[in-house]
Structure 1
C-alpha cells in the first residue's frame, strides 16, 4: 500500500510532518516479529520520522529496525524493556526529535492526528500524553497499550535521572513509567479535544464505538463513564488490541476509501495550550 491517494491535498499534513518530529518505538518480542511487528512497519509505522522495535533478540528480524534489549523474556520484564529503550533513545536521539511515542505491536496509530495534537504543545516542557488511568500514581499514569508520547524535556529528565530513582524492572510497565514521570516532575497532560472527546484509546475501535467496557475499566479510566461512540474524537490518535486484519482495514478506510461528493472541513479541536498555538490556523496554506 502507498500512503494515500494521489488526489488528496496533504499540504497541512506535510507541513506538520516537517514541524513536529516524532520518533516512535514499538514494544515487541521475537514471537511477534513476523506475526505483528512487520505489519506495524507496513502500515502506520512508515509515517513516523523514525521507528524502532524494542525486543529481546533479533530472531526472525524480517528487516525490522530492531533494538535488542538485554532482559529476560516475558511480561514481567516489560518495565526493563521500557526503561532501557528510553535510555537508549535519550543517549542517541534526544536532540533529533521533539516527541517520543511508545506503542505496542497491536496498537494502531494515526500519525497525522498525533502530529496535529502535538503541534499545539511545547516539547520543551516536562509533559507526557496518552490515555489517562487513575490508580496507583497520584497524578495518574498513561496506559501502555494505548501508547503515550513524552516530550523532549521529559526524556531529558528521564535520561539524567539518578538510576535508583525509578524501578528498573518488574511491576506494570505503564505504572512504573508513570511513577517515574511523576518523580521527575513530568506532568500528565490532557489529551481530550475541546469537545471532551478522547484521542488515545485502550481498546480497539469496536469496543469504543459500542461502549462495552469491562468492569475493571471503570475503576481505572479517568473518563470511562463518559465514553461512547460520540465521545471518540474525530481526530483520534490510537486504538489498542487491533488484530492484524483490522490494522490493514483501518489503513485502507483511512487512506483509500472516500464518500463521493463529501469533503471534510478542517476542525481545530485542540484545547489552546499555554503557548496559544493552533495547528490549523498556523498551517493553513
Structure 2
C-alpha cells in the first residue's frame, strides 16, 4: 500500500494527457459518496501486521473512521479478512522488498481504482508513515482532483532518475489514477512490471516506477 503539510516539501507534477473513465467497487473502510475525500492506501507485510499496522490503527488510522469523507485500504502479502478494516492479500507477488513490493503497489492501485468515484485523492504510503489527516486535507483544498496531478518528493533516485520518491508517501488525483488505469488494470500492471526503475545493483523502486 502514507508529512509535512505531510511532506518536508511538496511538489506538483502533471504528467498524464487526456481523461478517461473506469469505475468499480473495492474493499476497506469507505467514506461518503460525495467525491470529497482521500483514500489512504497503506502498503504492508504480514510481519508488520501486529506491529506497524496495529500502530497505525491505534493512531491516525483509527481517526480515518471518524472522518466520513475518507477511507483506508491496507494491502499486504497475506490477506486478513477478519482485520478491521480487512487487509487485502497479494500473495502472488512474492515476498521480497524489491519486485514483490512493486507488484503489490500495482495491485493496490488497481484496487484503489475500483473506488474512483468514491474519493478525490489517493494517498499511497508505507506502514511506517504517520499521517496528520487534517494537514493532509488542508494541503489538498486548493487543488482540483479533476486535474492530472501527482504530489511527492521529486527528482530523487540514482542519478536523479526522475519521478519522485515515496518514502513520505505520494498522492495522485482522481483524474490521474483514472488515466493510468485507462486501458485496464491488467495493462497497467504489465506496464509497471515491465518498466521498473532499477539501480546498478539490481534494486528496483516502486515509487519511481509508478511516477
Q: TM-score, normalised by structure 2?
A: 0.67
Q: What residue in structure 2 maps to residue 43 of structure 1? A: 59
- Structure 1 stretches of 4+ moved >6 Å: none
Q: Which residue of 1 aligns with 2:208?
A: 175
* CA-CA distance at 1:67 after TM superposition: 1.2
Q: Quick one: structure 1 residues 160 and 38, their matched pair in 2 at CA, closer, same or farther if it must change by over 3 Å? A: same
1:242-285 Cα shifts (integer Å, max 9, x gaps): xxxxxxxxxxxxxxxxxxxxxxxxxxxxxxxxxxxxxxxxxxxx
| Structure number having the greater helix percentage | 1
Change (3 A) 1:79 1:169: farther
Q: Return 5+ residue gaps in structure 2 as ranges.
A: 1-33, 65-69, 197-203
How many pairs are equivalent? 160
5+ residue gaps, structure 1? 1-17, 179-285
Distance 1:102 1:157 in 2: 17
Name the counterpart of 1:82.
105
> Over aligned residue pairs, what C-alpha RMSD do you find?
2.5
Q: Tell me which residue corresponds to 2:39.
A: 23
The farther-off stretch of 140-149 and 129-138 is: 129-138
Distance 1:63 1:155, change over 3 A: same
The aligned runs of 1:100-115 (5 Å cut-off) are 100-115=122-137
Q: Which protein, 1 or 2, shows the higher relative CO under an 8 Å CA cutoff with sep ≥ 6? A: 2
Distance 1:58 1:31, change over 3 A: same
* 1:73 equivalenced with 2:89 (yes/no): no
Q: Which has the higher strand share?
A: 2
| 1:145–1:166 CA distance, 2 compared to 1 (3 A) | same
Q: C-alpha distance in 1, partners of 2:54/2:81?
A: 10
Residue in 2 aligned with 1:55? 76
